[in-house]
Structure 1
Amino acid sequence: MTKRSEEKTKTSRRRFLATAAAGATAAVAAPTVVSAQGPINMRWQSTWPSKDIFHEFAIDYAKKINDMTGGDLKIEVLPAGAVVPAFQLLDAVSKGTLDGGHGVMVYHYGKQTALALWGSGPGYAMDANMLLAWHKYGGGKELLDKLYSSIGANIVSFLYGPMPTQPLGWFKKPIAKPDDLKGLKFRTVGISIDVFQNMGAAVNALPGGEIVAAMDRGLLEAAEFNNASSDRALGFPDVSKICMLQSYHQNAEQFEVMFNKDKYNALPEKVRAIIVNATEAASQDMQWKAIDRYSKDYAEMQAKDNVKFYKTPDAVLKRQLEVYDDVVRKKAAENPLFKEIAESQLAFAKRATQWEQDTVVNRRMAFEHYFGPNAKKPI
């Protein structure tokens, strides 16, 4: 190598090292710039009283987002009524009064009846997890976006947290036949309002935090809410000792978290990606926590609160399905988007539930084997 070539090589090496050093400095400095901007703070509200496990689920959800973003996004969740009443959450988030919220879609039933198809009904034999499968992979999300656009909702919606089948409700005496619902002053929400009205009940839609007080004052004679933990925390055993389990009125419901669309779109792309994945993580964790807590409170309401649980008679369940179909036919005739969503669910459910019925073993036999009256100690 000549002396000139040697100098040229050294110069090129110096330039390379200088460029690499500059790049490394920029890489180290970049997070400092982001950190200097401080975290993005969001104020949310749930539709649940602070003592309800549902509000706990909302806080759990926010904590996952906060932790996974490393504090770049900090969500504070207030209980129902802190800023707006529970049934006004959609408007508050859409207008930017709140940055986001945690609730259920049936609370928006008055805005568009088709919103009730996400959980307020029998789900065409799907459970809540299967309905979420339709939502993610069967076209439901796109239909929900279309629905929210049709009512001018300025939100980004995420569904998560499939719920177990909800009880028929709390009553003064056991329900033995469909006619026992006639004339009852009964609380429910969503399309279940129409179903129970058509079964003869006098329905009053109230948010969760107002139900027990209404029953205590005699404004309601019976009511449904959701699960053993929520019902116990809200005080249902103080106003009733009879709970009817199993119902088709809300067989496939899930939670909804919503962001104000402008504020969500303004978030860094990385944070938005974390939100998408954190939502799915929160969904699974919520199911695990629900199984643990609901089963404990179910046992304690029987042992400590003297609550008697009864299975809803098949005649009542069958009548629910018949009435639900009548209501859906009427809504579909009035509302093309309602019809489009119901038809999409039916098509997915026919395939998915056939697979489930053929594939998944009925666990009742195993339950009786291990815990039934003639069970032998397995270990």
Structure 2
Amino acid sequence: MIKKITSLGITTLLSIMLMSAHSFAGKVLLKVPVWFPTTLPALGTSPAWVAKNINAIGGDLSMKTYEPKKLVPPKEMLEAVSKGQVNAGYTTPGYNTGKLGDKGAIFSAVPFGPDAPEFLAWVYYGNGRTLWQKTYDDAGFNVQSIPCGIIAPETSGWFSKPIKKASDLKGLRMRFFGLGARVMEKLGVSTSQLPGGEIVPALQKGAIDATEFSMPAIDKRLGINKILKYNYFPGWHQPATLFDLIVNKDTWNDEMTEGQRTIVELACKAVMTDGLAMGESMQFDAMKANAEAGTENMYWSDEMLQTYSDKWDEVVAEAIEKDSGFKVIWDDLQAFRSNYKIWNEWAYLPRPGTKRK
């Protein structure tokens, strides 16, 4: 009897020890360097929102964000996550075209491309997410990409004088993001992809003449409106912009449970709503304040928009010729868009306020 009790006690103790060891082994802290300061609304607040809500759940998964340059420099983030130097990061593929090729930027923003609903439809229910992950895999990066944020259209440039014709752009030095930069280069603009915090100092020093960065509320937060007077719309280069949380694949596959991965997936899907809603909610106040302070909001002429569109077609043709991978992604997106167009043409009223004389 004593032997049986002793055996039962040892078995119970071993079970408790194994359960404790499993519980301990299952604790995961995602240390997430971010590309943008978390003070920037929608653009920077999204990863902080994800961390806050994951941590509020409690349990064995937590997340901590690190401001730009605090853990790793933003430009080194992708490689650092891939090598396991940090186990996660918050970025957008358009900042990594040097490593992924121009095709990577398709998963950030597409000039004259899909707006937020159409973009998300392709990513989640078309082939977008599969192709997004494949782009990282084919480039040799050991990361799992989770779509994790989206913002509304951006403005397409701040200038010191009105831009009435394409020749007015020639010779300008301009901060410009992603695939839209390729369009501007075709029009004689020298582009650079400066981080947000370096834009105003570069303008003050005369290192650049013009810039685009984000939505009016974010641009105002940086102080761009205090230096450049003419703010151009619409955001032809970024009708919507996507972001992703990248996690080291060894962490994702081997250290995290299915439940932990599900929490991350759900938090990232939820922040799509928060970031988009926040961005849409705050631009009009910033635009009114800018206008009162002297900003002139400008809308590109039909001729200029057609010029940008024509040059974009040239950029796409050249990218397809250069990289077969770009063609695979582009063809898939275009096939989805041609079908979506059927729904779009029949389902929606013209967006209020966008018709201009």
Q: 2:150·2:240 contact (CA, 8 Å) conserved in 1?
A: yes
Write out per-residue CA displacement over residues 293-350 of structure 1, whole angstroms, 9 at most, x where no aligned residue: 33332232223x3322111222221111111111111111111110010000000011
SS of residue paired to 1:364: coil
Amino acid at match of 2:82: S
Can you list the C-alpha shifts for 1:182-239, whole angstroms capped at 9, x where unaligned? Answer: 1111111222221110011111221222111111110010000011221111121222
Provide the secondary structure at the position in 1 that maps to 2:235.
coil
Q: 1:275 aligns with which of 243, 260, 264?
A: 264
- What is the distance in 1 between the residues matched to 2:28 and 2:80? 19
Equivalent residue for 2:346? 358
Aligned AA for 1:89? M
Give the total of aligned pairs.
Answer: 341
Q: How does 1:236-255 map to 2 (within 5 A)?
A: 236-255=224-243
1:94 Cα offset (Å): 1.2
8 A Cα contact 1:89 1:101, kept in partner? yes
Inter-partner Cα distance in structure 1 for 2:175 and 2:59: 41
TM-score, normalising length: structure 2: 0.88
Contact 1:86–1:207 (8 Å) recurs in 2: no
Residue in structure 2 matched with residue 328 of structure 1 by the alignment: 316
Match for 1:45: what amino acid?
Answer: P
In structure 1, C-alpha distance between the alignment counterparts of 2:330 and 2:319, rounded to whole Å: 10
Out of 52, 57, 72, the position equivalent to 2:40 is 52
**d(CA) in 1 for partners of 2:18, 2:219:** 50
- State how far apart, in whole Å, the 2-side matches of 1:237 and 1:175 are: 17
CA displacement 1:31-59 (0-9 Å, x = unmatched):
87766668422211111134322222220
Q: Secondary structure at the match of 2:44?
A: helix
Q: In terms of Rg, which structure is larger?
A: 1
Counterpart AA for 2:196: G
Measure the CA separation in 2 of the matches of 1:102 and 1:340.
26
Q: Which residue of 2 is the match for residue 294 of structure 1?
A: 283
Structure 1 residues without counterparts, runs of 5 or longer: 1-21, 373-379
In structure 2, what is the equivalent of residue 114 of structure 1? 103
1:194 maps to amino acid: R
Q: Distance in 1 between matches of 2:306 and 2:19?
A: 60
1:223 and 1:352 map into 2 onto residues whose CA distance is: 33
CA distance in 1, matches of 2:235, 2:305: 6
What is the alpha-carbon distance in structure 2 between the residues aligned to residue 196 and residue 280 of structure 1? 33
Distance in structure 2 (CA, Å) of the matches to 1:172 and 1:283: 34
Point out the more displaced range, 285-294 or 192-201.
285-294
2:243 is paired with a residue of what secondary structure?
strand
Residue 308 of structure 1 aligns with an amino acid whose one-letter code is: E
* Partner in structure 2 of residue 97 of structure 1: 85
Distance in 2 between the 1:80 and 1:162 partners?
19
- Other structure's SS at 2:178 match: coil
Deviations 1:159-191 (A, max 9, x none): 233322211111101222222111111111222
Provide the rounded CA distance (Å) in 2 between the counterparts of 1:341 and 1:320: 22
Kindly tell me: are residues 160 and 37 of structure 1, through their superposed partners in 2, closer, same or farther at Cα, counting changes over 3 Å?
A: closer
Q: Is the 8 A contact 1:55 1:79 kept in 2?
A: no
Q: Residue in 1 aligned with 2:7? A: none
1:260 to 248, 253, 269: 248
Q: Deviations over 1:233-291 (max 9, x none)?
A: 11212221221121321223211111111112220111111111221111112212222
Could you tell me whether the CA contact under 8 Å between 2:108 and 2:243 is conserved in 1? no
- Equivalent residue for 1:341? 329
Change (3 A) 1:71 1:234: farther
Is the CA contact (8 Å cut-off) linking 2:80 and 2:86 kept in structure 1? yes
Contact 1:52/1:233 (CA < 8 Å) preserved in 2? Answer: yes
CA contact (8 A) 2:150 2:242 kept: yes
CA contact 2:51–2:65 (8 Å) conserved in 1: yes
The yes-or-no answer on 1:208 pairing with 2:196 is yes
SS of aligned partner of 1:109: helix
Q: Quick one: which amino acid aligns to residue 109 of structure 1?
A: T
Measure how far apart 1:105 and its partner are. 1.4
Q: How far apart, in 2, do the equivalents of 1:185 and 1:199 lie?
A: 12
1:225 aligns with 2:213: yes
Alpha-carbon distance in structure 2 between the residues aligned to 1:215 and 1:190: 20
Contact 1:109 1:116 in 2 (8 A): yes
Report the Cα distance in structure 2 between the residues aligned to 1:201 and 1:337, rounded to whole angstroms. Answer: 27
Q: Percent identity?
A: 29
1:52-93, CA deviations, whole angstroms, 9 ceiling, x for partnerless residues? Answer: 22222220122122223x242221111112133322221121
TM-score by length of 1: 0.83
Distance 1:254 1:200, change over 3 A: same
